[in-house]
C-alpha cells in the first residue's frame, strides 16, 4: 500500500499511520466475491452518450451531462454504474459515463477547524452536480466494525466507519467502510445537517460501491466541505412496510412544467400545490394527499417543474443553537414567508413493535425520544408512519415543540408511497426566531402526528400552552 501518495498535504502526525488508497480495498470480514464480481459491460461505439443503447445506464437520461455533472435527483435510491474496462471500444477514457473513476477535484485542502480538529476545504468554486471525491477505505464486515468501534471508544479515539445502506429489490445492501488506517482525503470531511455534498454509491467494474460525493449545491471558494453521515430523507428500518418504499405513484405526462393541475395527474386539487414562488397554497388544516412530480413523470416535469419543492431540499440559513431549558433548537438567520417549505423531519421508518421497544429502552436509559407518529386518514382508514431520527436523521430532529407553532407538518409523497414529513411556515417567521411545530395536533380528531412519549411538561411558554407535550397514552 502506498504511503500517502496523493496530491494533498496530509497532517504530519498522520503520515506514518495512514496509508493512502484512491478507492475502497477489501478488509477483514468483507464479502470478497463483491470485489471480483464484474458487472456486464456495454458494447457502445458512441462514447455512451445515449442511455437507451448503453446497458451501463439504466435510466432514461444519462448519469452525467456533457460537462460531467450528475443529472439524477439526489434523493432517490437508484443503482448507478459507470462504464469500465470490460465495456466496448466506444467506452474509452473520453466516455461520458466515466466521472468518479477519473479521481477527485483539484484544489481541495485539509485545514484545522475550531472544535472539530481537521476539515476539508475547497480553494475553488464548485458547481452543483460536480463530483468532488470519494469516501474510501477498508470495506469490512459487521463483526469487525463493532470490534473496532469498541476498541476506539475504549481508547477515546475518533471513529470514521461509514455505514452505507442501499435497497435492492426491497432487501438492504450494507457496506461498511473504515478509512481510519487506510483511506483517502474523504476521511477529513465533517458531518453537517445542512450539507453541501451528497453521497451517491457508484459501481465501477465490481459490485463494491464507490461512495462518491457530489456537490448538492454551488459551493463557494474557501468553503468547508461536508456531507450528512446519516440520511437527509426517510430510510426503511425494522418493522416498516417495505412495499411502500417501492410502490411508485403513477407519474404525469405533462409537457408544460405541470403549471395546470387540471392536466397534471400528480396534483388532485383544483389549484396547484405551490404558487409560482414555490409557496404551499392549500389550507394547512385539511387532510389531503399531496404528491410532487418525480422521475417517472413526463418530459415536461423536469427540475424546473413548479410541482417540485420539497425534493429540492431545506432552506438555507438554518442554524442549530442552544435553548435554555431545552438543550438545542433550530433557528433561522433569515426572514421566512408564510407557505415557504423549510425542511423535512426525516429518519428511519420503523414498525409499531420496534417503536415501542425503542421507547422502553430510551426511557430506561433516561434518553430523549424523537420518534414521530404521522397519522393520515385515507378513505376513513388511518395510515400510520413512524419516523425515528435518533440515530439516522436530518436537521429536523432539532426542532422543538410549541403549542403555538410557526411551522406545520404536511405529508408529501415523492416517487414512493412513504410520506416525506415536510415542514412549512404557517405564518411569517422573523430572522433569528426559533422554529417549532406541534408534535401532536392542533385539532382533534383526527391527529396529524404525535411524538411517541410519556406525559412530559411542555416548555413552550405560549399563551395557548396545554401544559404537556402530546402523548399516545
Which CATH number fits the domain that encloses residue 341? 2.170.270.10
* pLDDT reported for residue 443: 37
Q: What is the grid cell recorded at 53?
A: 443503447
User: Is residue 55 pLDDT above 60, yes or no?
Assistant: yes
205, 39 contact by CB (below 8 A): yes
**Shared domain check, 256 and 205:** no
Phi, psi of 313 (to 5 degrees): 100, 175
**Shared domain check, 375 and 446:** yes
**Shared domain check, 207 and 250:** no
* Band of pLDDT at residue 446, cut at 50, 70 and 90: very low
What is the rounded average pLDDT of the residues 266-275?
Answer: 86
Which of 100-114, 127-141, 257-271 has the weakest average pLDDT?
257-271
CA atoms within 13 A on the CB side of 28: 8
pTM of the model: 0.57
* pLDDT reported for residue 4: 39
Let me know how long the chain is.
473
User: Is residue 72 pLDDT above 80, yes or no?
Assistant: yes
Q: Number of folded domains in the chain?
A: 2
**Shared domain check, 289 and 273:** yes
152, 109 contact by CB (below 8 A): no
User: Is residue 3 one of the residues assigned to a domain?
Assistant: no
* Band of pLDDT at residue 453, cut at 50, 70 and 90: very low
* pLDDT reported for residue 74: 80
DSSP 8-state symbol, 362 = H
* Band of pLDDT at residue 281, cut at 50, 70 and 90: very high
Q: How far apart are CA 339 and CA 344, in angstroms?
A: 14
**Shared domain check, 145 and 253:** no
Nearest to 398 by CA among 437, 431, 356: 437
In this structure, the strands spanning 226-227 and 190-191 are parallel
Exposure string for 50-85, b = 16+ CB within 10 A, e = fewer: ebeebbbbeeeebbbeeeebbebebbebeebbbbbe
Note the pLDDT tens digit of each residue in 394-443.
899 999 988 899 999 999 998 888 899 999 999 999 999 999 999 875 33
User: Is residue 472 pLDDT above 50, yes or no?
Assistant: no
- Of residues 457 and 145, more confidence is placed in 145
User: Is residue 298 pLDDT above 80, yes or no?
Assistant: no
* Band of pLDDT at residue 355, cut at 50, 70 and 90: confident
What is the rounded average pLDDT of the residues 78-83?
Answer: 86
Structural domain ending residue among the three candidates 229, 260, 275: 229
Say how far residue 17 (Cα) sits from the centre of its chain.
32
Residue with cell 453521515: 229
Q: What range does the domain containing 166 cover?
A: 12-229
Mean residue pLDDT across the chain: 83
Which of 7-16, 86-95, 122-131, 377-386 has the weakest average pLDDT?
7-16
Q: How far apart are CA 347 and CA 420, in angstroms?
A: 10
SS3 call for 377 = strand
* pLDDT reported for residue 100: 95
Q: What is the CA radius of gyration of the chain?
A: 23
**Shared domain check, 201 and 240:** no
Amino acid at each position: 500500500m502506498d504511503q500517502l501518495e496523493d496530491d494533498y498535504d496530509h497532517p504530519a502526525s498522520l503520515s506514518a499511520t495512514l496509508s493512502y488508497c484512491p478507492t475502497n480495498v477489501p478488509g477483514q470480514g468483507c464479502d470478497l466475491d463483491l470485489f471480483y464480481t464484474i458487472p456486464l459491460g456495454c458494447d457502445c461505439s458512441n462514447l455512451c452518450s445515449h442511455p437507451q443503447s448503453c446497458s451501463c445506464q439504466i435510466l432514461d437520461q444519462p448519469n452525467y451531462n456533457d460537462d460531467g455533472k450528475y443529472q439524477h435527483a439526489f434523493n432517490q435510491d437508484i443503482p448507478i454504474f459507470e462504464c469500465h474496462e470490460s465495456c466496448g471500444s466506444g467506452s474509452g477514457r473520453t466516455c461520458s459515463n466515466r466521472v468518479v473513476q477519473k479521481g477527485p477535484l483539484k484544489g481541495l485542502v485539509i485545514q484545522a477547524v475550531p472544535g472539530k480538529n481537521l476539515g476539508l476545504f475547497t480553494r475553488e468554486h464548485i458547481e452543483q452536480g460536480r463530483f468532488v471525491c470519494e469516501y474510501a477505505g477498508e470495506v469490512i464486515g459487521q463483526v469487525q466494525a463493532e470490534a473496532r468501534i469498541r476498541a476506539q471508544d475504549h481508547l477515546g479515539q475518533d471513529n470514521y466507519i461509514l455505514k452505507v445502506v442501499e435497497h435492492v429489490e426491497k432487501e438492504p445492501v450494507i457496506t461498511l467502510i473504515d478509512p481510519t488506517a487506510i483511506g483517502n482525503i474523504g476521511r477529513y470531511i465533517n458531518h453537517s445537517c445542512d450539507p453541501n455534498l451528497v453521497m451517491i454509491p457508484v459501481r465501477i467494474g465490481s459490485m463494491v460501491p464507490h461512495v462518491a460525493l457530489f456537490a448538492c449545491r454551488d459551493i463557494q471558494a474557501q468553503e468547508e466541505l461536508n456531507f450528512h453521515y446519516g440520511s437527509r430523507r426517510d430510510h426503511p428500518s425494522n418493522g416498516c412496510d417495505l412495499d411502500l418504499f417501492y410502490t411508485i405513484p403513477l407519474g404525469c405526462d405533462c409537457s408544460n412544467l405541470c403549471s395546470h393541475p387540471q392536466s397534471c395527474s400528480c396534483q388532485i386539487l383544483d389549484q396547484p400545490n405551490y404558487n409560482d414562488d414555490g409557496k404551499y397554497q392549500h389550507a394547512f388544516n385539511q387532510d389531503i394527499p399531496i404528491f410532487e412530480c418525480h422521475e417517472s413523470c413526463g418530459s415536461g416535469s423536469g427540475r424546473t417543474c413548479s410541482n417540485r419543492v420539497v425534493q429540492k431540499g431545506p432552506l438555507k440559513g438554518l442554524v442549530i443553537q442552544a435553548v435554555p431549558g431545552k438543550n438545542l433548537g433550530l433557528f433561522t438567520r433569515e426572514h421566512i414567508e408564510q407557505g415557504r417549505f423549510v425542511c423535512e423531519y426525516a429518519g428511519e421508518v420503523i414498525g409499531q413493535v420496534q417503536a415501542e421497544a425503542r421507547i422502553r429502552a430510551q426511557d430506561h436509559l433516561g434518553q430523549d425520544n424523537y420518534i414521530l407518529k404521522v397519522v393520515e386518514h385515507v378513505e376513513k382508514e388511518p395510515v400510520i408512519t413512524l419516523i425515528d431520527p435518533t440515530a439516522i436523521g436530518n436537521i429536523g430532529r432539532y426542532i422543538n415543540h410549541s403549542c403555538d407553532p410557526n411551522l406545520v407538518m404536511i405529508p408529501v409523497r415523492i416517487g414512493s408511497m412513504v410520506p416525506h414529513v415536510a415542514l412549512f411556515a404557517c405564518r411569517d417567521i422573523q430572522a433569528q426566531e426559533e422554529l417549532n411545530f406541534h408534535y401532536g395536533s392542533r385539532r382533534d380528531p383526527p391527529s396529524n402526528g404525535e411524538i411517541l412519549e410519556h406525559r412530559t411538561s411542555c416548555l413552550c411558554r405560549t399563551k395557548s400552552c396545554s401544559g404537556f407535550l402530546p402523548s399516545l397514552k
